[in-house]
A and B are shown apart, each in its own frame.
Chain A
Amino acid sequence: MSNAPRNGDAVLEATNLTKIYGSGHTEVVAVRDATLSVARGEIVALLGPSGAGKSTLLTLIGLILPPNTGRIVIGGETVFENHLARVNVRRFRRRHLGFVFQKANLIPFLTAVENVRLAMEINDQPSRASKRRAMELLEYLGVGERADHLPSKLSGGEQQRVAVARALANQPNLILADEPTAALDSVRGRQVMELFRKVAHEQNAGVIVVTHDQRALDVFDRSLEMEDGRLNPKALPARA
């Protein structure tokens, strides 16, 4: 078993990524020489204990922090080579990446549909088209009837679905989710994981999910485990 996708063209190719925080005797190696690839339509679980470096790896792949060394290629385009960005990182993020976190992080003063529209309007999508697609996405994720509600009026599961819709808004190549089910009960948690699988397969996007939730591992195509900043393949249970 390797860190490479089983089939299909790679949407992500990260090679020898290393991230070091601090320097001298305070130096911490959060990610150590990590290499992974994710194909289109593939959903990959990133497992490991707290402090293993999962979230740091996700911030590197999500272009939120630069790696110290290594190379990141997304959708065939080299984005980072060592610590140097080869593209406008912020623009690349809004066009090619989608994020979902443990907390939905919806903008509290926007309704559900406005939160989804915002991602598209930031990406220069026309207002009318973005409204139509936002409604389609909310319908697709089963929260269409809650479109005009503010986040404070939505349940945790509904908020997470809106966050997934927002992540999908610009049809990203890669969706990164950091413990998206941690705040949900097991039933809703599984529903969200199933949703990611559905999105990966139907939207043809690569999905990486950092999770501690062992109960829903069967929804993933592949899993990787991090320990002390190192990335290793891990066998998955058979899908129910």
Chain B
Amino acid sequence: MNLASRDIRHNFGRFVLTTIGLGLLLMLVMGMGGIYRGLVQEATLMVDRIDTDLWVVQKDTRGPFAELSRIPANVEDRVRAVPGVLSSRAFVSTTIQRERNGQPLRITVQGLSWPEDRGQWLPIVAGRALGQAHYEMIADESLKLPIGAKVKLAKDTYAVVGLTRGMNSPSGDSMAFFTLRDSQAIQFDLSGEAVRLERSARYSRAKQIDLGRAQPHVIERGLGPSSAIPALGPPAISAVLVKVRPGFDPNQVQSIIAMWPDVSVYSTDGQRDLLVRGTVDRARRQLGLFGILLIIVSGIIMALILYTLTLDKLHDIAMLKLMGARNTVILGLIMQQAVLLGALAYIVAYIIGQWVFPWFPRRVVIIPDDLWMLAGIVAGISVLASVLGIAKALSVEPNEVLA
């Protein structure tokens, strides 16, 4: 006869409520682990997905995802000339916030090097990759922009031609992909008044120098568009992505580019490592510590629950001892309830989590390894938590029945 199941049957309502409560607590532990994983995955998402061997970024910076990186666009051509380089392409990344239908719209704008890179490597779940040099965008579905939606950014309107799934920046913002030129237009957009003021400032500066006074046509150039002034550099890019020719050692190519004094170069692994150890390091450590605290709290709560359940049964346990029951019978009564409580709470946590986690604003990634680990922890907690109750039960004297 299984005493634990009989006791649960007798106090079924209380057991169910306790299981649900504990399950919700374990769901938080599970979710915390999932957010931790999600954070790391979001941080390294682009680095992992984009098909490249080396990242060339601004000197002494950690790349476009970790911090601001600006390098001249011509680095793309310089890199292409390095022996062993198969291809190089410019890459722009910047985060903007606009308003759409009265709601804030945060987008991490990613510039793709048209026409080599049309975004065909992206996880497109609807629509297509970029099909023209301008005015098209691929948006992540979390932006809630349908295919065909028109979005006005800077001075132009862009049509959504494709949708991706799960493409978020390390800060959790949804990504959208444009051609490089379009992303630069969005990034460096200036108002008409700002353009006029800049031209006026150029005109004033040119008039104050000998060249301007001696050659009036230079002053006239200064009043024209920026693109018509060869002395001004083209808008900067965030990074250059380098693909190494098959048979060549990426480390060798990296060491050549690393000698250039104006840029830094990272391998894909190095870039990922920088992101995990840098950008999200504190956040993931905080989540990890919080998760550990939650596990400890769960253990304490479970121990208290089992201890209280045992206290309720002390008289019955004394009677069992008086009848001559072995300690294993009493131990089984408490331990089986503890393990069952832990197991059912874990299942509740998993089921509710599957339903709730997709609604979280940040990515929650639950992997089988983490589930197994948590199951082991819950089993351990169940056993440890029951120790307090078992110790109390074993200390009961059979003559307490007479009290």
Contacts and interface: CB of A to CB of B under 8 A. Distances in A.
Given A59-B402, A105-B315, A127-B1, A64 B322 contact: yes
A108 B323 CA distance: 15
A122 B324 contact: yes
Main secondary structure of the interface of B (DSSP, over half): helix
Interface in B291-344: 315-316, 319-326, 329
Interface residues of B, number: 23
A196 interface: no
Interface in A83-99: 90-95, 97, 99
A119 interface: yes
A4 interface: no
The listed residue with most A CB atoms (<10 A of its CB), out of B319, B323, B329, is B323
B172 interface: no
Contacts of A65: 399
B6 A150 contact: no
Contact of A109 (B7, B320, B398): B7
A55 B402 contact: yes
Interface stretch (A110-118, A198-206, A218-226): A110-118
Nearest to B400: A64
B399 A64 contact: yes
Contact of A90 (B3, B315, B324): B324
B319 A122 contact: no
A93 B323 contact: yes
Interface string B358-402: 000000000000000000000000000000000000000111011
B401 A90 contact: no
A114 B5 CA distance: 13
Contacts of B401: 101, 105
A94 B10 contact: no
B316 A99 contact: no
Contacts, number: 66
B323 A117 contact: no
A91 B324 contact: yes
Nearest to A122: B325
Contacts of A123: 324
Interface string B1-39: 101001101110000000000000000000000000000
Contacts of B316: 107-109
B6 A114 contact: yes
Contacts of B319: 105, 107
Interface range, A side: 20 to 34
Contacts of A150: 10
Contact of A117 (B1, B7, B321): B1
Contacts of B321: 90
A21 to B, nearest CB: 12
A117 B1 CA distance: 8
A13 interface: no
Contacts of A64: 322, 397-399, 402
A42 interface: no
B9 A109 contact: yes
B10 A93 contact: no
Interface in B107-159: none
B398 A118 contact: no
Contacts of A158: none
Interface string A202-237: 000000000000000000000000000000000000
B1 A109 contact: no
A94 B325 contact: yes
A49 B399 CA distance: 21
Contacts of B3: 107, 109-110, 118
Nearest to B397: A64
B65 to A, nearest CB: 59
Contacts of A110: 1, 3, 6
A94 B323 CA distance: 5
A121 interface: yes
13 contacts: A64-B397, A65-B399, A90-B321, A91-B324, A94-B324, A97-B324, A101-B401, A109-B10, A110-B6, A121-B1, A122-B323, A123-B324, A178-B402
Interface of B: 1, 3, 6-7, 9-11, 315-316, 319-326, 329, 397-399, 401-402
